[in-house]
Structure formats: structure tokens, C-alpha cells
Chains A and B, each alone.
Chain A
Amino acid sequence: MWDYSDKVKEHFFQPRNAGVLADANGVGDVGSISCGDALRLMLKVEPVTDIILDAHFQTFGCGSAIASSSALTEMIKGKTLDEALKVSNQDIADYLDGLPPEKMHCSVMGREALQAAIANYRGEVWSDDHEEGALVCKCFAIDAVLIEDTIRANNLCSVQDVTNYTKAGGGCSSCHEGIEEILVKVMVERGETFKHGAQPKEEAAPVGMTNLQRIRKIEAVLESVRPQLKRDGGDIELVDVDGKTIYVNMTGACAGCQMEALTLQGIQQKLMEELKEFIKIVPTKVSSLSRAMKG
């Protein structure tokens, strides 16, 4: 049984603002039934002042998904759209007196639905493409694809490295065996063998060709998401571009937070749209300076 706070239970058993909002002018749908979580957020926005007059939700999901949706609608009513966008997933969790770590994705879904609904009201397209592999770290919802890419990109060789870079394995540690397996596989590819107890890396290595034009475009995209990251107390820095792999450094509140992966996937999608090519975004822990010096 999950250890839900009284606030979560209260919002689950007496959800506020549940059901269809007939005259909604901004609707955001996120999630899907196959994932077991889906949320539709409906907003009624006053066109002159941009104030959210009413907010309703419909949710297919577990107790914390329903509670997070209910909390979100309460939190944003009466706010302007810009104010509402300042509500972070952590704010939703805090409002509910906390969520179990495994359930934090429910608050992320709420935050995403909010972005989607506001984008819909403003006539913009909001997209957040999740490229999902098998879930390895259940505590922080990190999948095999991200772990594998990060190991490959940074030449990682220990579980501790992987935890430092992706946060995977930093919770209950029951996935350490799974992370080791990915390490073994990737290390074999690069002609090394996995040794238990290997020294964690200090720095990551790969360097390569950069292309000024591409980099300027990439910088521009990062610039466009920066305000949003700053609102959550974080920032992003471009570290390097190596072919189709873009290395970034997440700092401040974003670094290593459980949402880093989700945020990165959103940015990756934006970059792909801008560059019109398939690229991969990979978090590293080094600054561009130390990377340049190594290179």
C-alpha cells in the first residue's frame, strides 16, 4: 500500500473540479491509456486579462494521478496564464504534502497537461515526445535507453557514474543489477570489461567536429527554453556537439532532479524540429571549459 498523505487521500476521495468543462477554451490531453495514466485539463480563460476563470479535469489513473489533477485545478484557478505556468510539478507535490517518489510522475503529468492546455488556448503546438525504453530505475523513472546512451556518450564504467549522471540507481538500489548489465553490454562494445568497484569517472571524454551554424541554432533553442528552466530554478548549458549527439549540462534545480530526463526529452524534440534531423541529447556533468581543455 502506498503511503499517501492525508491531503492526497482527501483530493482523491473528494476530487475538486472533476468532469467536463462545457465552455472550455483551452484543453490539454497528456498521457495514454496504455501507460496507465491519462489526464485531460480543461481551462476557461478570460481573453482580455488571461485569467483562468475555471479549470476542470478528467483523469484515468491511480490515486495520486487523480489527486494531482484535482490539486492542479485548485492551484491555477484565478491565476493569469503566465502565473499558472510558474506552477512546477514540485509545487503540485508540495500542495499535496508530498508524493511517494515512484508517484512523482503523476505531478509531472499535471504540469505537462497545464502546458498543453495553455498552448492549446494560445493556438500553439506543445509537444513532448517520450522515447521510452524499458523502465530500469523505478524510483526516478529512468529507462534503459537513457542509461545506455549516457553510458556510451560519457564512457561510464560504474554504477556510481550512472547514478551521478542520470540519477538512476540513486533510490532503493534494487536496479543496480540491471544497470550493471547495461554497463557490461556497452563496455563490451567498446572493448572493455566491466569490473566491479571501478573508480567512478571524474570527467567525460568524447569530443568531435562542431559546426558553427548548427551550434548557433542549438544555442537558440536552448535560449528559448531557458526562461522556463530558470522559473524552476535551473539552467542548461551546451557542452559539446558530436555528430548527432548534443551534450548539455543541467545545472541548478534541474541537475539530477527526477524530471531532468523528462525535460531533456522535451528539449530534444524541440531541437529535432529546429534542426530537422534526428539528434540525441545527453546530459554530462562537465562544463564546456574542462571539456574543451581535454579535447
Chain B
Amino acid sequence: MEAIYLDNNATTRVDPAVVEAMLPYFTEQFGNPSSMHSFGNKVGLAIKKARMQVQELLGAEHDSEIIFTSCGTESDSTALLSALRAQPERREIITTTVEHPAILTLCTFLEKEGYKVHLLKVDEKGRLDLEEYKKLLTDQVAVVSVMWANNETGTFFPVVEMAELAHAVGAMFHTDAVQAVGKVPLNLKDTKIDMLSVSGHKLHAPKGIGVLYLKRGTRFRPLLRGGHQERGRRAGTENSASIVGLGKAAEMALESMAFENTIVARLRDKLETAILAKVPRSFVTGDANNRLPNTSNIAFEFIEGEAILLMLNKFGIAASSGSACTSGSLEPSHVMRAMGIPYTAAHGTVRFSLSRYSTEAEVDRVIQVVPEIIAQLRKLSPYWDGDGPAAEPDKAFAPTYA
């Protein structure tokens, strides 16, 4: 039985063509691109090509707007810290409650350093209230950071519009587009987005390579200071092989953009519709009408996510969960809590994230297996009784303590 990988929002397999493009840069093309000899020069040219491939995928105006970093997290940190250092008179940050920890943990830290952090709430479908946002926009705001698409539910935020609003008060706008890049068409030159984060391993490039897009004219303070690499904006000898790999992956993502948004989206919809039809008391979390084409996050009531994942794993199916147990904490995912998903369901959310490698046969197999697994686990649950939830689950189970 072939393993079925539906956890592409966590990470993706490196495309074989990407591996092939990278290999020479471990062997004969080992030069340092800064060196004044032909060893270095060839690598320098390869990096230039990769920069243009990424520029094209992002729809950036200039290739110099692409800064290679070590990962999405580094890009996020660089962007926020740069915006704060470049505008010391502005002491406020606006972001959302559902950002990735790469933003949220940093903001918690910055709050302790004395910055004021505003967290925009989301509604039950994970949508922002733009009126709330407008009220918070003042000349005190240094930077707004709002993700393009949520990693758990795939829900899009209206970042293009929000960037315009930020600019109106002179605030910088950053977006963590780690989940969106490669899955949806981007055209940054026509937006007011100042900074945008990319992570290679979400689009079939290797782990440990990222990009910070920095719009020309945006004031910038580097995170890493040292050599003049990346025009002095990110010191450190270039990770040439991975940069070349990311360039190739960007090119391939652009080629498969239509495929991703038609075929992959259709497979995702098929998976979701079939599971919802077969499994009672299950529902989609996030905004089903406005989300990434590859992501489906389904809540199964009255059972716990880690148990579902272990069962799926036994059938060779890889997915992930917002359950507390998978993270080792006692709280379910902050995204589910922010949307107000009741505890009866938040612990039982499963994220299926497809890729262009996902096949119809795989989806059919998952559709066949999931309802059995859910039924089996519900049989063990004290909150479930026969074909439905125990009458008044809160009362059916009367713990001595809670």
C-alpha cells in the first residue's frame, strides 16, 4: 500500500526536477558567488536566474526586490523588526489572532519590549472585520502584518485592500504569504504590499530556504549584518543550491498554477463533499468560499484529533490536526479557538492539504477509510451514543471534576 500524503501545508516533497537542478551546486558548482573567478561567477549567475524566477512567481516589479533568507520564519522576523527599527517613532503593530507562531510569538515578545500589539479578531468562519481594522489604523502604527492565507483552514484575508488602508496612514504592510505563494496567482507590482514572506518547503523546494519580498523604496533595516550579500540586506554566504532549487520550484509552481486551481481544487472538493456526506456531525472550518484550493479542514465532533491521525496513519494516510494532544499542550489550536469552534469539535479537527501530486485514487481511498475510522472512535467516546451524540452530551457525562 502506497502512503498517501495529504499534509502539504506542513511541508511538501521536493520535486525531482528541483533536486536535479540543485545537484550541481553541491559538486562542481561549489564556488562562492562573491568570488572574483569563474567558480564564483557561474554560481552568481544561477542565483540571478533564481531571483528572476521568484520575481516572476510573485509578480514583482524588480528582481532586486527578492531577498533570499533561511526560511519563512526569518522573513517574518526580518520584516517586522525592520519596520519597527526604521520608524522608531511608531510604537504599534496590528496583526491577527490566527497568524502562524512565526508572527504571534514574535509579537508577544515585542509586546514585552514595550510595543503595543493589536490582534484583529476573526468571526466563526475565520473572517476579519475591516471596520475594526480601520479604527485601529493611526499614525502610531509602524507595521500591519496579516497572513495571505491561513495555514490551518486555508482562509484568505483581503491583504491587497488592507495594504491600501495601511498606506493611507503611513504604516508599512507585511503579509506572511507562506501558504499562498505557489498556490494562487500573485501580482505584487500592482499592490501596496511592502513586504511578503515566502518559504521554499511549502512549494516543493527544500526546507531552510525562504524569501523576503521588499518593495523598492520601502525603508529597511537588516536582521543579519555582515557581508554585502543580498545587497547588504541579508548577510551570510548564499545557500546557492537551495536558492537554485527554489528558483526552479517557483518556475514549476507558475506552470502548474491553473492545475492547482482546477484539478487540485476539484479533488479537494470531492474529498470534502464525500466525507461530509458520509460522516454525521462533521463540518468544514474556515471560509469554504474563500480559501486555498488545496486545503480542507474538517471538524469531527465528539472525538479527538490525535486518535484520528493515529488511525489514519495505520492506513498509510498522513494528515494533521488542530487537537491539543498533537502539540503537547492542553489547548486546541489557537485558530480554532479564535473562530469560536466549540470544544466538542475543536479537539477533533483534521486538516487535509493536497498538492499537485495528489491523485484521484488517493482521494477515493481516503473517502473510503475516514468514515470507518470516525465511527470506530466514536464508539469509544462517552459523548457518543449509537448513531448520534449522547442526549445532552454535557449531562450524559458528569465528571467529578472538570
Q: Which residues of A contact B (CB under 8 A)?
A: 1-2, 9, 12-13, 15, 18-19, 28-40, 57-63, 65-66, 102, 112, 116, 125-130, 135, 138, 141, 181
Contacts and interface: CB of A to CB of B under 8 A. Distances in A.
B77 interface: no
B329 A30 contact: no
B76 interface: no
Given A33-B344, A34-B343, A12 B310 contact: yes
13 contacts: A13-B311, A29-B397, A32-B399, A32-B402, A33-B302, A35-B330, A35-B402, A38-B399, A39-B382, A60-B347, A62-B305, A62-B310, A112-B400
A130 B401 contact: yes
A38 B379 contact: no
Contact of A116 (B314, B332, B397, B400): B400
Contact of A102 (B328, B344, B382): B328
Contacts of A141: 330
Interface string B381-402: 1110000000001000111111
B400 A29 contact: yes
| Interface residue tally on B, bucketed by range | 35 or more
Given A61-B304, A127-B401, A135-B330, A33 B383 contact: yes
B307 A33 contact: no
A36 B330 contact: yes
A242 B376 CA distance: 53
Residues of A contacting B: mostly: mixed
B94 to A, nearest CB: 24
A34 B402 contact: yes
Contact of A36 (B112, B325, B382): B325
B397 A36 contact: no
Nearest to B393: A33
A125 B401 CA distance: 11
Interface in B301-330: 302-307, 310-311, 313-314, 323-326, 328-330
Nearest to A129: B401
A60 B382 contact: yes
B36 interface: no
Given A33-B343, A58-B381, A138 B325 contact: no
Given A35-B330, A38-B397, A59-B381, A13 B324 contact: no
B328 A18 contact: no
Contacts of B343: 33-34, 36
Contacts of B302: 33, 60
B380 interface: yes
A181 B113 CA distance: 13
A2 B328 CA distance: 9
A29 B382 contact: yes
A59 B379 CA distance: 9
